[in-house]
Structure 1
Amino acid sequence: MVASWIELIVQSKYRDRAVVVYCLLAAIPPLILPHPIALLPLAAIPLGLLFILKKPFVVCLTFILFSFFRLHEVFPQLDPIKIPLLTALGSYFVLAWHIILTRKVKTYWRYEHTVFARFFGWVVVSIVFASHAPSAFASFTSVYMKIGIMVLAISWLMTETNHFKLAHLLILGAGLTVGCITLYNKASGIGLVEGTRVTIPGTSLGDPNDLSLVLSFPMSYAIAFAATRGTGKIKTLLGLIGFGVFISAIIATQSRGGLLAIIAVTGIFGLRLIKSKLLLISIASFSLVILIAAAGISDRKSGGAAEEGVDASAMGRIHAWEAAFFMGLRNPLTGVGLSMFLDNYWNYATHSRAEGMAHVTHSSWFQVLAETGFIGLGLFLFLIYTNFMSIRSTLSRLDKLRDTPNENPQLTAIAMGTYAGLAGFCASGSFLSQGFLWPIYIMTAICIAIANYMDNHYPEPEPELKNDEQTTDTKGKFANKLKVKGYSNAKPTEDLAKKQ
């Protein structure tokens, strides 16, 4: 199409004028950017445009990784390039291009989409009734709206086995990058909080709890590579290295929420390997004691052994949870609005300013309760429950393909990593504020994409029908229910009756 337009211009009577206009346009960049080196990126624009049109999934995934892992902040040299902004614009452009114009992206809607849309919609409602709507709306447009768009984008674009492989590798690679920087800072004594807790200063990861949150997300995907048979020796080795890096880095943050995430994630893999639940609980309890000792929690200035009774860190959490509960209690329908917790803290706190300062919620559950009310909390919990049920169903179907020609180790690995990641989120989320951050929503998109892939490539066989008319009707109703919930291979009652 572009070639035909160029040919038309060259052969038209306005050829000379077109050449003049082109030369004038070509002269504009040197006037704005006089330094020759600054012009070099402009030469890559046509190639970049072709790339994002050919690889829309890579563009969207890059945007997510830079937004969550803050790689442009970890490496300040990347900040002038404005990669998050460019990839965001590229993502929106390529989605509109392929959905509206070329229609190469096949959109679909599943039951999991509906569950997510309910919670997302309620967050929007809470903004309307927020204590300060402009601030809540600003937070929504800066982060949460992008999350909502990317959930749909990833679930629609992730349609091939190579997409799952690439997502798995890039999540692990980005996490390893942050983990290695964390260990380097610890060894060099850079950015230590309270003298012992490592951070990455000058970034959004300057809080040890936030850093452990970022590190706990890719940890489950590292273990999945190491624990899944058939992924290959290189990926198994990469998974083992990643697991060691993430464990060491989380220990260096001395975050109790991060330690719980380690136990939860490894426990999910243990459930598949260890049959005895009592033995598994014993190992988990012993491992938690070892991790606490290795992390040196008792040496912390806040929350360490030096503080008698309930330490200041724990008391700060309790005060924040009390404030969050009263926010939800007095605003049961919509809460105080997105990101409005700290602004309303002293209006609902049960302690005086002399007894402590304002804290973030340090709990995803209390955060969602405070900012979206009891209805929002219920919808959020149901979203997590739906994700668990969806990924468990997918793993069950993948297990049935084991030792068959249709076995797919790569899909099993990312599904298992997502399943363990959900468990890690529930554990660490009880002590870290991540209700409106990327991890749970990335896993939601992956859950939807895997379930859709399984329905399209490995549809479940139709249930056998008996001669009994009542049984036929029951099967038909069950199939109709599955179809409503997004299982495209389910057959309606009428079709089953015809087969009968």
Structure 2
Amino acid sequence: MRDIVITLIVFASLPYTFKKPYIGALMWIWISVMNPHRLSWGFAYDFPFAAIIAATTLLALLVAPGQKRPPSSPAVAVMIMFTVWMAISTLFAIHPGESTVMLQRVIKIMLMNLVVMMAVRNKEQLHWMLWALAGSLGYYGIKGGLFTIATGGSFRVWGPEGSFIFGNNEVALAFVVIIPIFYYLYLISDKKWLKYGMVGAIGLCALASLGSYSRGALLALLGMFGFLWLKSPKKAALGVGMALLLPMIILFMPAKWTERMDTIDNYQEDGSAMGRINAWQMATNLAIDRPLTGGGFEIYDAYVFARYAPVPNDIHAAHSIYFQCLGEHGFVGLGLYLTFAILCWRRANWIIRQTKKRADLKWAGQLAGMIQVSMIGFGVGGAFLSLLYFDMPYYLMGALLITGQIVQDSLRQPAAGQPGATPAEAADPAATAAAQAPRNGARAAKQGSI
């Protein structure tokens, strides 16, 4: 039954995608982030839904009228450069065959993030994008939170099989990253039941994150909630809520969860933690030996660890987005990745500054602040996880750049209520141009008479 429902939803959306390409972008986010087909047991499990949606959306963008370009930001150019550099590092990879397979997967993610930025053009479409992201991860977060409550936190929460976030550590960080988006949706919702729903989703996602038994997610959660409080326009209410919610959640967890979290202080005695440090040292040594391109994808095996790791037989994945990027793509790749993140952060700061005195753009400043909170959560938690290619953060930074473009376009027109603008002119650029034409003509005639 699930196979049929998922198939009907996907194929029913295709005709609408040709009319409105952003619908294809929303469907892509749903399939790639939530992986709903992995919840089925029949033909839909391995059906190429993603390829069909991607091809339809690309074709729809080609035939759609109007401009077809991503937001005008240096961050877009750096993201493209980073993608190209990953292709270059694959040419010099230690394992070219395996690296090429992974490159194809990564290029799809980067290409479709670019497509999403081209398809989503206005505030309404952007909000639908955020609902798609929140709903896709919120399904697992709410389900995981309820599972943690039902089991008393005695069992770990896992993600959807066959996805980037299948592991308990990975899905926990995904829950952390999506919490600020739920909070933004809470801020813009005008219905009480919807606000209550967002508060419930935040609490359950936080509980599911802790229920994963991920130590990195706990650090990310604490760092993110602190920054969330700084960015929130309702500091008093949020502060009281966090002061009550977090201790209650932590006290709810069983003794074995507390014992695992205590190993953060005694990491030297923890084999998993020391294995991660060994993997980080391997990536550093590899990058020093191959500083430009690194070793390419798929370098976590006996051959590479024997050459570069301090403890050759202790083989682990990168367990850090930063060391993963350094080991796989060298110092150039890491520099491009960090530059992309910094440019997105600066764009968020610009949005917040520009929208302070614009009531009509208040939402954009709030969204930029919440995406910064998500970036903090991912930056902290990602220091301990191999999630460099997880598509969710790229979509959020894409949403940030889309927001910047909307604000930039809006600033070219005076806001409603400001001198020189009528409400109709502020809402409609065409009306503004029509209203300004007689004034411009009068000025020209006056100058000509002088």
Give the alignment's TM-score, normalised by structure 2.
Answer: 0.78
Structure 2 counterpart SS, 1:340: coil
Q: Of the candidates 186, 205, 211, which is equivalent to residue 246 of structure 1? A: 205
Do residues 76 (structure 1) and 36 (structure 2) align? no
Q: Of the candidates 326, 342, 355, which is equivalent to residue 285 of structure 2? A: 326
Could you tell me whether the CA contact under 8 Å between 2:27 and 2:53 is conserved in 1?
no
Aligned match of 2:324: 367
Aligned match of 1:498: none
CA distance in structure 2 between the aligned counterparts of 1:233 and 1:338, rounded to whole angstroms: 48
Aligned-pair CA distance for 1:186? 3.7
Q: Output aligned runs, 1:56-71, within 5 Å.
A: 56-71=21-36
Look up the equivalent residue of 1:76 and give its one-letter code: S
Do residues 426 (structure 1) and 342 (structure 2) align? no
Q: Output aligned runs, 1:39-438, within 5 Å.
A: 48-73=13-38, 75-77=39-41, 80-81=43-44, 85-99=48-62, 101-104=63-66, 106-108=68-70, 109-141=72-104, 143-186=105-148, 196-200=155-159, 202-204=161-163, 205-226=165-186, 228=187, 231-273=190-232, 297-300=257-260, 303=263, 309-342=268-301, 344-353=304-313, 357-402=314-359, 406-409=360-363, 411-438=364-391
CA distance in structure 2 between the aligned counterparts of 1:178 and 1:41, rounded to whole angstroms: 17
Could you tell me whether the CA contact under 8 Å between 1:324 and 1:341 is conserved in 2?
no
Aligned match of 2:440: none
CA distance in structure 1 between the aligned counterparts of 2:5 and 2:317, rounded to whole angstroms: 44
Relative to structure 1, the CA distance from residue 351 to residue 212 in structure 2 (aligned partners, 3 Å threshold; closer, same or farther) is same
Relative to structure 1, the CA distance from residue 460 to residue 325 in structure 2 (aligned partners, 3 Å threshold; closer, same or farther) is farther
Look up the equivalent residue of 2:18 and give its one-letter code: L
Could you tell me whether the CA contact under 8 Å between 2:144 and 2:204 is conserved in 1?
no
Could you tell me whether the CA contact under 8 Å between 1:327 and 1:370 is conserved in 2?
yes
Q: CA offsets per residue over residues 50-84 of structure 1, 9 Å max, x none? A: 222123212222222322333322x225x633587
CA distance in structure 2 between the aligned counterparts of 1:83 and 1:57, rounded to whole angstroms: 25
Q: Output aligned runs, 1:19-34, within 5 Å.
A: none
Look up the equivalent residue of 2:181 and give its one-letter code: Y
Look up the equivalent residue of 1:436 and give its one-letter code: Y
Structure 2 counterpart SS, 1:400: coil
Give the alignment's TM-score, normalised by structure 1.
Answer: 0.71
Relative to structure 1, the CA distance from residue 308 to residue 408 in structure 2 (aligned partners, 3 Å threshold; closer, same or farther) is closer
CA distance in structure 2 between the aligned counterparts of 1:128 and 1:250, rounded to whole angstroms: 38
Could you tell me whether the CA contact under 8 Å between 1:332 and 1:374 is conserved in 2?
yes
Aligned match of 1:17: none
Aligned-pair CA distance for 1:154? 1.3
Relative to structure 1, the CA distance from residue 164 to residue 154 in structure 2 (aligned partners, 3 Å threshold; closer, same or farther) is same
Aligned-pair CA distance for 1:166? 0.8
Look up the equivalent residue of 1:380 and give its one-letter code: Y
Look up the equivalent residue of 1:171 and give its one-letter code: L
Relative to structure 1, the CA distance from residue 173 to residue 413 in structure 2 (aligned partners, 3 Å threshold; closer, same or farther) is farther
Q: CA offsets per residue over residues 382-426 of structure 1, 9 Å max, x none? A: 111001001121122222213xxx2453x4443333221111111
Could you tell me whether the CA contact under 8 Å between 1:333 and 1:373 is conserved in 2?
yes
CA distance in structure 1 between the aligned counterparts of 2:25 and 2:144, rounded to whole angstroms: 26
Q: CA offsets per residue over residues 223-244 of structure 1, 9 Å max, x none? A: 2233x36655344223211110
Aligned residues: 403
Structure 1 counterpart SS, 2:389: coil
Unaligned residue ranges in structure 2 (runs of 5+): 415-450
Relative to structure 1, the CA distance from residue 284 to residue 316 in structure 2 (aligned partners, 3 Å threshold; closer, same or farther) is farther
Unaligned residue ranges in structure 1 (runs of 5+): 1-37, 462-500
Structure 1 counterpart SS, 2:356: helix
Q: CA offsets per residue over residues 423-465 of structure 1, 9 Å max, x none? A: 111111111121122123112211221111111223388xxxx
Relative to structure 1, the CA distance from residue 376 to residue 155 in structure 2 (aligned partners, 3 Å threshold; closer, same or farther) is same
Aligned match of 1:472: none
Relative to structure 1, the CA distance from residue 247 to residue 347 in structure 2 (aligned partners, 3 Å threshold; closer, same or farther) is same
Structure index of larger Rg: 1
